Amino acid sequence: MTAGSEAQPSARAGEPQVRCAEVSEARQEPMAGTAPRADVWVVVEHQPGWGDAELARSGHDVRVLMARASRSVAGPPDADERRRGDLPRTRVWVGYVTDEPMLRVGTVAHPADVATWDLAAVAAGSMRAWGAPDPDPLLLVCANGRRDRCCGHLGGRLADALWRGPHARRVLTCTHLGGHRFAPTALLLPVGALHGRLDLDSAADLLSGASAGTMRAETLRGFSGLTEPAQVAEAHARVETGHLGLDPLPVELPGPDGGSDGASSVHARVQPSASAPAGAPAIGVDLVRRTDPTLLACGRQLEARARWLVA
């Protein structure tokens, strides 16, 4: 087991080792539009592991993750702390990804303290002034082998490699980002960009690029602040225009629910970025909803999965 991963479920005797990430990549399954929806991410550091993973919850478009830093970065309590019974306070990051993206960091006495937070109030902005600003991008790599072997193995290996590099202090492993079949997956805060099929170079580029205000689209699953069809349209427009900005391009979809009302097709308009030349036109993107058999996780059977694609 890699240092960055949690224990992985063992396969039954004679069970073929089918890896969902290998199947997805072999089938060239598109990643755009697979980011989980969240306007706020709450990241709770829990160095001993994720035995308290039940604290990871969601509601009101707020998602709570349990996370770990590299042990060499976090460090164990020193001898005096152990004698006194003192435990280091728990770091918590709160990332608001819409409107004006921001990342705040503070501490609580125990991870369970976050379980008392009112997620509706958090969604309304109650934590925008909490703690202190964290000015640097943060990358969370899913390495939860309790949920999926690909995440535990591939995500853990990626985190270990990143922890040996210059970005070690800005990398955490975390409990669950969905999209096991795209492992290694990661979340970039504060913009809320989900990425998949990462390797060491592309993951390191995410952090160095984000520090300079740029982000490449090759590994992008989508921005969590957008609906699924908007994620697909935005990712398509990035590729078409070569846009490398860190914030999502503005997407216009018909209807109040942005195409999530059961429609089988929708036309999206993606507006140019603020840095585009004056008079740059919007990009029209026709989207269709299609159902395909998909291996969502290791050890499962193919399941019908509806998703939005560029027509």
Ranges of the chain whose pLDDT falls below 50: 8-16, 76-85
DSSP state of 299: T
pLDDT of 56: 78
Cβ neighbourhood burial of 72 (10 Å; 0-12, 13-18, 19+): exposed
- Say which residues have a Cβ less than 8 Å from residue 309's Cβ, sequence separation at least 6: 30, 33, 232, 287, 288, 289, 290
pLDDT of 52: 57
DSSP state of 64: E
Pairing outcome for strands 283-294 and 303-310: antiparallel
Segments making up each domain of the chain, as ranges: 20-225
266-267-271 Cα angle (round to 5): 140
pLDDT of 109: 92
How far apart are alpha carbons 36 and 279 in whole angstroms? Answer: 33
pLDDT of 82: 43
84: Cα within 13 Å, side-chain hemisphere: 8
- The pair phi, psi for residue 235, each rounded to 5°, is -65, -40
Q: What is the distance in angstroms between the CA of the first residue and the CA of the last residue of the chain? A: 42
**Structure tokens belonging to residue 175:** 């409990």
3.40.30.10, 3.40.50.720, 3.30.310.50, 3.30.110.70: CATH of 20-225 = 3.40.30.10
User: Among 75, 106, 104, which Cα is nearest to 89's?
Assistant: 106
- Say which residues have a Cβ less than 8 Å from residue 34's Cβ, sequence separation at least 6: 178, 179, 182, 194, 196, 221, 222, 228, 231, 307
- 265: phi > 0 → left, psi -120 to 50 → alpha, else beta; which? beta
pLDDT of 78: 46
Secondary structure percentages of the chain, helix, strand, coil, to 5: 25, 25, 50
Q: 3-class SS at 59?
A: strand
**Residues 16-72: tens digit of each pLDDT:** 468 899 999 999 999 999 999 999 999 999 887 665 556 778 899 999 999 999 987
Look up tokens 């994620």; give the residue: 231
